[in-house]
C-alpha cells in the first residue's frame, strides 16, 4: 500500500521537522505500507485565510498527481483540512484529513472534546470546521497558544522546546478540562508530531491525542475496506466526481501558474 502524505511545510525550510515526521510515519505504518511526504512551496507559514487558499489549491493538484502516479490513498496532514472536500470529490482513492479524522476519532474517547490550537487566529476557523463536521455539541471548546506556524517548527531544534510547548499546551488545556472537556486535541500537525514523544500524554486525566497516527491508520483502513468490500465515498451530492475535462481545466488554469 502506498500513501501520499501532504504536509503544508517545505522540506528545505522545515529544519528537522521533515525528518522527524518521516521517522514517525515509518514507525506507525503497517508492514507493507509506505508513506511519502509531499511538501508545499512556499509553506503555509502564517495564520491567514489567503495562505490557506493558496495551499489548498496546490494540495488538490498534488492529490490528483499522486493518484495518477499510482498511490492508493492521499492523507492531508494539515489540521484545517483546506481543500479536503475538493480533493475527496475529485479522486477515486481514499482521501482523509487530519482535522476531520482527529475530531471524529476523539468522539469515541469522550463526550466533550476540546482543541488547543497554536495561534488565536485559528480559533474561528476551527469553529467553522466543527460546524462543517456537525460536531458543535461534541467539540465544545477551542483555546489557543501564540505561535506562528513557522515559528513553532523551531521547537524541534531548540533545547527544551518540547517541554516549553507541553507546558504552554497544558496552560490552555486545564481550563477546558475544568469546564468538562474529556479529550484534548492539539490543533495542528506540528504540535501533534512534537507531542508524539510524550507517552500517555494527558492534561489532568484528559488524553491528548496524536491525530497523525489516527489519520494514517484511518487511511490504511479505508484502503483495506475498499479492497475487501468495494466501499468508497458517496458520489451522490458533495463528492460527485467531476468530468475529466473539469479536472484538466483545474490543473492547467489560471494560465501561468
**Three-state DSSP state, 208:** strand
Q: 2-218 domain in CATH 3.40.50.12500?
A: yes
Mean pLDDT over residues 115-131, rounded? 92
C-alpha cell belonging to residue 19: 525528518
54-112 pLDDT, tens digit per residue, is 999 999 999 999 999 999 999 999 999 999 999 999 999 999 999 999 999 999 999 99
Domain locations in the chain as residue ranges: 2-218
Torsional class of 15: left (φ above 0), alpha (ψ -120 to 50), beta (otherwise):
left
Its pTM stands at 0.94
For 11, phi and psi rounded to 5 degrees? -55, -40
Contact 51, 78 (CB under 8 A): no
C-alpha cell belonging to residue 155: 521547537
Nearest to 122 by CA among 161, 162, 172, 86: 172
191-203 pLDDT, tens digit per residue, is 999 999 899 999 9
For 2, phi and psi rounded to 5 degrees? -115, 125
Amino acid at each position: 500500500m502506498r500513501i501520499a502524505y501532504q504536509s503544508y511545510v517545505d522540506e528545505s525550510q522545515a529544519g528537522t521537522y521533515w525528518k522527524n515526521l518521516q521517522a514517525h510515519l515509518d514507525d506507525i505504518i503497517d508492514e507493507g505500507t509506505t508513506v511519502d511526504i509531499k511538501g508545499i512551496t512556499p509553506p503555509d507559514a502564517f495564520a491567514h485565510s489567503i495562505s490557506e487558499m493558496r495551499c489548498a489549491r496546490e494540495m488538490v493538484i498534488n492529490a490528483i498527481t499522486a493518484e495518477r502516479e499510482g498511490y492508493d490513498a492521499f492523507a492531508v496532514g494539515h489540521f484545517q483540512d483546506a481543500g479536503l472536500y475538493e480533493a475527496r470529490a475529485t479522486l477515486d482513492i481514499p482521501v482523509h484529513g487530519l482535522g476531520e479524522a482527529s475530531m471524529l476519532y476523539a468522539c469515541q474517547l469522550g463526550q466533550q472534546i476540546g482543541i488547543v490550537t497554536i495561534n488565536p487566529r485559528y480559533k474561528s476557523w476551527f469553529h467553522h470546521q466543527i460546524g462543517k463536521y456537525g460536531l458543535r455539541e461534541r467539540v465544545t471548546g477551542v483555546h489557543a497558544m501564540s505561535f506562528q506556524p513557522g515559528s513553532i517548527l523551531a521547537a524541534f531544534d531548540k533545547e527544551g522546546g518540547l517541554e516549553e510547548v507541553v507546558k504552554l499546551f497544558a496552560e490552555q488545556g486545564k481550563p477546558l478540562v475544568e469546564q468538562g472537556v474529556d479529550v484534548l486535541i492539539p490543533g495542528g500537525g506540528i504540535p501533534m508530531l512534537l507531542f508524539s514523544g510524550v507517552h500517555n500524554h494527558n492534561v489532568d486525566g484528559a488524553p491528548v491525542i496524536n491525530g497523525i497516527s489516527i489519520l494514517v491508520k484511518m487511511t490504511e483502513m479505508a484502503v483495506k475496506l475498499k479492497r475487501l468490500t468495494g466501499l468508497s465515498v458517496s458520489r451522490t451530492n458533495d463528492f460527485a466526481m467531476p468530468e475529466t475535462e473539469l479536472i484538466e481545466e483545474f490543473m492547467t488554469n489560471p494560465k501561468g501558474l
